Amino acid sequence: MPRIYVIEDDEAIRRELGELLARNGYEVVCCDDFSRAASLALAAVPDLVLLDLTLPATDGQLVCREIRATSQVPIIVLTSRTAEADEVVAMTLGADDFVAKPYSSQVLLAHVAALLRRAGSAVAAQTLEHGGVTLDLARSTASYGGKTIELTKNELRILALLMRRAGTIVSREDLMRELWASDVFVDDNTLTVNVNRLRATLAKIGVRDYLVTHRGQGYSV
């Protein structure tokens, strides 16, 4: 199921987008901290980003540029700023498509589907590789030394986020936000349990000492 990350500050529009996309078979994650919109979008490891240009605490054009600096995830700019200059700037900064508000639901869905097809994220296996480990995002499997093992949903999300940011420390907060993107309180120890389960799963295919714990900071690969 393709994951779409929505960066939209208008609560009514955000809810409408979430319901529309969910009804049409997409997993939806919405940004809840616009000052960190780009980093949160990357942490969510989406197949596509829907980005409003007018945002509190930042500007959508800056968010687009920050995302594109480290990722080729497809970006659709969705905005009421319909001046030709805005469209040109958005495309120059790396957006793949531009849909004006108010939008037709069917037109928006067609743009999303077309962009996902072009990117190959709806049908093609996606993989991440680091340190001899290959992660297949579509099949939720990890491979190493000719051996492959299936991962749980949480194991997949943890490993994908760490591999996306290989060589840097991913904070416990970012990992918990990735796993439990809600306002429900989750005991910090629950993350430790999930990381240890991932370590045990990887050990079954010979991957050991791959996940590095940075005390008081987070984890890295």
Same domain, 96 and 138: no
DSSP string, 132-196: TEEEETTTTEEEETTEEEE--HHHHHHHHHHHHTTTSPEEHHHHHHHH--SSS---HHHHHHHHH
> How confident is residue 178, by pLDDT bands cut at 50, 70 and 90?
confident
Q: Are residues 7 and 115 in the same domain?
A: yes
Decide: pTM greater than 0.85.
no
207 in the same domain as 166: yes
Residues 131, 212 within the same domain: yes
Contact 77, 93 (CB under 8 A): no
Residues 162 and 57 in one domain: no
Contact call for residues 116 and 106 (beta carbons, < 8 A): no
Q: Stretch 85-99: mean pLDDT, rounded?
A: 76
Tell me which of 42 and 86 has the higher pLDDT.
42
What average pLDDT score do residues 57-84 get? 84
Residue-wise pLDDT for 141-167, tens only, equals: 999 999 999 999 889 989 988 998 899
CATH number at residue 69: 3.40.50.2300
Is the domain of 145 the same as that of 173?
yes
| Boundary residue ending a domain (59, 87, 119) | 119
pLDDT digits (tens, 9 = 90+) for 117-131: 887 644 444 678 899
Mean pLDDT, residues 173-202:
80
My answer on whether 12 and 42 are in the same domain is yes
Q: Please indicate, yes or no, whether residues 170 and 187 belong to a single structural domain of this protein.
A: yes
Residues 132, 115 within the same domain: no
C-alpha to C-alpha distance for 199 and 109, rounded to whole angstroms: 39
Domain of 157 in residue numbering reads as 127-220
Which stretch of DSSP H or E encloses residue 78? strand 75-79
Query: Is residue 25 located within the same domain as residue 112?
Result: yes
Answer with the residue of higher pLDDT: 72 or 185.
72
49, β-bridge pairs:
5, 75
Q: Are residues 198 and 149 in the same domain?
A: yes
Please count the structural domains in the chain.
2
Among candidate residues 100, 119, 138, the one where a domain is terminated:
119
